[in-house]
Chains A and B, each alone.
Chain A
């Protein structure tokens, strides 16, 4: 019996050992390194930076959180970021639904496959390039101005447009999957029972696909909450939570405060996830 064969025979008799070997590297990497890093980040949020030396001082306090809640600026930025996230989510849901509906219910199987690829492929095109493309589109003499005679310019509207564009495919795909699972017979039954298209939509289609819409909103929400580059590129002077985090790491060299601000999107996401858990949206991810 060769060595390889005896090793594999030995491993075959010890499934727990095989599992341990398979899990060891990924767990060390993600469990120890990544979770450890996250934990360390949140611990740092309770420390502060020495104003003279710029060194992190490891004294526990809630000062950073106090600043975050008391300071008008951070409240405004948090509300603005949330507002942008809500606007982006609603816009994406409104655009995505008809697209997903046609894909799931009218397109032939072959066309469905092509359409999914058509939606998925640009999803992976560089985030930065897509934000940049809107800088070009919205510029003073860009395509939008040429088509419509006016452009919203760079500011909040541009930020909402660009972020909606960036995350649109994340909304289309879950809704498409949700509609694909919705049996046609239910829609037909509603029609047979005298339901008008709008009534059928409101009382049959929408309630059954709601979890899928919520699943999409998790992406649009989470991604918007953490964004800082789009708003830098097309947002004019406006700031989002991500910019505060970024500036405190770079220019202000205040890692503890950056960590404190970074807990805001994480907490919002956790609250949101807990709230939507009961809709079954998480099984739609």
Chain B
């Protein structure tokens, strides 16, 4: 590039500043969870693990954690199955309506969350007559997690082409054997990455969850929202927020290390 040194340094400053803006608020939340002061006061007045201890014994938090894990795991499994099927269909076949199907897969995440949320809420309650519970939240989460698995698997299928599978068939392996010994092993890391991302997405989701989780149940984000405006809960809220940051960024980091395919834009 033939741009001046000065431009380069100005841009670098912009980048560093931008990254600082991205990370500072997250670090503040992490620091705040070990801040002995119970308000948002800056700078932190002292260091303590007391709130972490209290959060670990808080029944509401623990129940919310269990619900989050159950919903996340179940939605991830469903999304893996459905996302992989859709990916194979769209990557390996030509058929009428193909573009519509791929749009359909993106739709639950492209529309504002509140639209997806009330659409499903309305469908469960007034059309299907199903009471909201953990099950309905899992269905909703799986719906918007499919796209994550789909994207990862499609990217991998595109990259690996069909030569190895054809070779396997030429050498006499049947379709199932080829899938088991050739296709699946090559897909494994893409599936793992997709699954991790789907789990992280489900673990963090709040808007759709608000509308599809039964009364009396809470996921961690919903627990935070319910307790956000209660001053005496502030320290525990800080700990749960810190946990959410750590728990959700680790799988994403791992997923990106695992597959170079995930560098697509946005949350897709």
Contacts and interface: CB of A to CB of B under 8 A. Distances in A.
Interface residues of B, number: 92
A29 B266 contact: no
Contact of B28 (A117, A136, A141, A170): A136
B188 interface: no
A173 B118 contact: no
A80 interface: no
B137 interface: no
A174 B265 CA distance: 6
B176 interface: yes
Contacts of B241: 126, 128-129, 132-133
Nearest to A26: B86
Given A22-B88, A133-B25, A99 B104 contact: no
Main secondary structure of the interface of A (DSSP, over half): helix
B252 interface: yes
Contacts of B108: 30, 34
B224 A128 contact: yes
Contacts of A274: none
Interface residues of A, number: 102
Main secondary structure of the interface of B (DSSP, over half): helix
A30 B143 contact: yes
B22 A127 contact: no
Interface in A177-225: 177, 184, 187-188, 191-192, 197, 215-216, 219, 222-223, 225
Given A27-B101, A125-B248, A118 B115 contact: no
Contact of B245 (A11, A36, A129, A146): A129
B114 A262 contact: yes
B233 interface: no
B175 A8 contact: yes
Interface of B: 1-4, 7-8, 10-12, 14-15, 18-19, 21-26, 28-29, 32, 39-43, 81-83, 85-86, 88-89, 93, 95, 101, 104-105, 107-108, 110-115, 118-123, 126-127, 139, 142-143, 146, 174-177, 197, 200-201, 203-204, 206-207, 211, 221, 224-225, 228, 237, 241, 244-245, 248-249, 252-253, 256-257, 262-268
Given A40-B123, A41-B123, A128-B241, 8 more contacts: A38-B111, A102-B8, A116-B263, A121-B256, A124-B200, A132-B241, A222-B112, A269-B112
